[in-house]
A and B are shown apart, each in its own frame.
Chain A
């Protein structure tokens, strides 16, 4: 029997250690399963879009075919956009639980549509969903504390430390072996469920091979912390209490205070305020002369300026023009909002160097394309699609062309697929 197997036997005989490791493994499995279920739910919702869309458009077409009015077609037709989850999204759901991953847009003013749902659930905002990232970042350190707080002090308190140290292989080498063994077991409890879930979800090997050492490094940070506290030669209880306090500061209080500080340092308005501002602009348009609205619109979009003048009756091109004017009037606010979000994210990313919990969370959500960058990229794709929608409908509206049932099929469709850098051949095979 090698020293390693002796240590393993000793560890397995300690009931609390076994319970802790089993609990961590169960939590890891549960988090992976919960993440995969959530991603499957999102994929199913996205997969259901075409059928629902076809039904919806068919009903609109029935209504519009009576008048063949392009304005009615543009007004009543919703066009779905979606942000497909990446293979790794199951491990770090990130913003996918608080931001929409399906958005049905019309050719009307876009900003109100994008930011209408831009409110966060404060109960979910701090810890996030129960996913693998949550277990790793928030819970795993507690298990490190449980297994390492008394690594040396426990032997001292049991009266064994001196006689162990008096043995040729019982000094620092013994503690190194015990540390490595506990580290490996904690890592396995987290890494195995993750690796299986990742392979099943089609995550590429390169990303899996990047995250497995990340798990080990994050555990090592906490083990190092526990070793540092252990060097103070306090009692096991004092070690545990100190480490728990450090956990509270590094994982909960620190990031929360940093978030508050960043929000104060980079003040930005809520997305909903942009939606409100855009709406006010649109509502205000009803009270100003229509010619003024059209003048402004044509100044910004001269390609439609040849359109026939407005008659005394309602015309959708005026309606769509003031919606677009409304978007353009809040463009500066939108730009400032996005810039502010990016500055906040950059500030949060720089925090990673002092708060490893933030660093691990940031890296996981980046790799999983579930962070703010991914959310803004989705908005950019919506904007691009919305631009095409406007072009399509304006072609009918501003030349007073009738809109037939067949024209519905000519409307642009959203290309939802993204090329993920970590999409593996495994997913294709399935």
Chain B
């Protein structure tokens, strides 16, 4: 099957079940290149499972999942070559410096970059120069995230997956992070973020999908300078999470 022109993230009719429990129920989602899609949903809505399926950690029972034309179920390593992934808690090696961490993670991604290129990326990610050669032991969460983002920037992959990227960040760090993600998007990367943080999603996403019980029940696109009606989004989000809790 030729997927010429297909979006970097293509999910059609995806069903994932753990035993009798359907976590994803015929989920369909397309994330085009150069766009940011945010998936909003309460606990158990299927956000993390969606990312896990794209990364090849979870096999689909039905449906199609393609990451830049690679099926992660059949070729997880192939799919992972196309993906940069930022988990909720960026955990790096405390006894390596920021540059060494980036160097190591790039090596594990089958990529080699000169030190100058790495430090440029760290600078672009907002990490101050004096921190480049410091071990990560004393880094804040925001600083660690900047190292991880720098690696994502350096990898130049078509897909960026973000798992609750702004949880635990202060407002300024959140704004910095969102600016970085926008820069990545502008480079042509398809960004999919799953989050509880409605405001952050509204700030950076081009499209927001509401995930409930394993399927997207509503999608909203950013329009104009205002982008999203945050009050309406909040009301919608509250209804969804209450329904899920019930």
Contacts and interface: CB of A to CB of B under 8 A. Distances in A.
A209 interface: no
A3 B103 CA distance: 10
Given A10-B93, A159-B89, A165-B57, A3 B107 contact: yes
B169 interface: no
A344 to B, nearest CB: 51
Contacts of A160: 91-93
A105 B110 CA distance: 73
A174 B107 CA distance: 11
A162 B87 contact: yes
- Which of B76, B77, B95, B107 has the most chain A CB atoms closer than 10 A to its own CB? B107
A13 B101 CA distance: 12
B203 interface: no
A168 B80 contact: yes
Interface string A152-168: 00000011101111111
Contacts of B83: 166
A168 B81 contact: yes
A45 B104 CA distance: 58
A290 interface: no
A169 B57 contact: no
Contact of A168 (B77, B87, B89, B92): B77
Given A160-B92, A166-B55, A166-B80, A10 B85 contact: no
A131 B31 CA distance: 65
A213 interface: no
A1 interface: yes
A14 B92 CA distance: 14
A168 B107 contact: no
Which of A9, A14, A167 has the most CB atoms of chain B within a 10 A radius of its CB? Answer: A167
A267 interface: no
Nearest to B79: A168
Interface footprint category on A:
20 to 34
A171 interface: yes
Interface residues of B, number: 27
B96 interface: yes
A154 to B, nearest CB: 11
Contacts of B80: 166-168
Contacts of B77: 168-169, 171
Interface string A1-37: 1110010011001110000000000000000000000
A10 B110 contact: no
B109 interface: yes
A159 B141 CA distance: 13
A12 to B, nearest CB: 9
Given A166-B55, A166-B83, A6 B91 contact: no
Contacts of B246: none
B87 A159 contact: yes
A380 B148 CA distance: 73
Contacts of A164: 108
Given A168-B77, A171-B77, A163 B87 contact: yes
A13 B83 CA distance: 29
A6 B108 CA distance: 9
Contacts of A2: 107
Given A1-B103, A10-B104, A13-B95, A169 B109 contact: yes
B91 A159 contact: yes
A161 to B, nearest CB: 9
A14 B95 contact: yes
B90 interface: yes
A169 B108 contact: yes
Nearest to A166: B85
A174 B92 CA distance: 15
A170 interface: yes
Interface string B68-105: 00000000110011010111011111011000100111
Interface in A35-79: none
B87 A13 contact: no
Contacts of B148: 163
Contact of A6 (B87, B89, B107, B110): B107
Interface in A138-190: 158-160, 162-171, 174
A160 B76 CA distance: 18
Nearest to B89: A159
For the complex of A and B, the 8 pairs showing the least CB-CB separation, nearest first, are A159-B91, A13-B95, A166-B85, A167-B108, A170-B108, A160-B91, A168-B81, A168-B80
Interface of A: 1-3, 6, 9-10, 13-15, 158-160, 162-171, 174
6 contacts: A10-B104, A15-B95, A159-B91, A163-B87, A163-B148, A167-B108
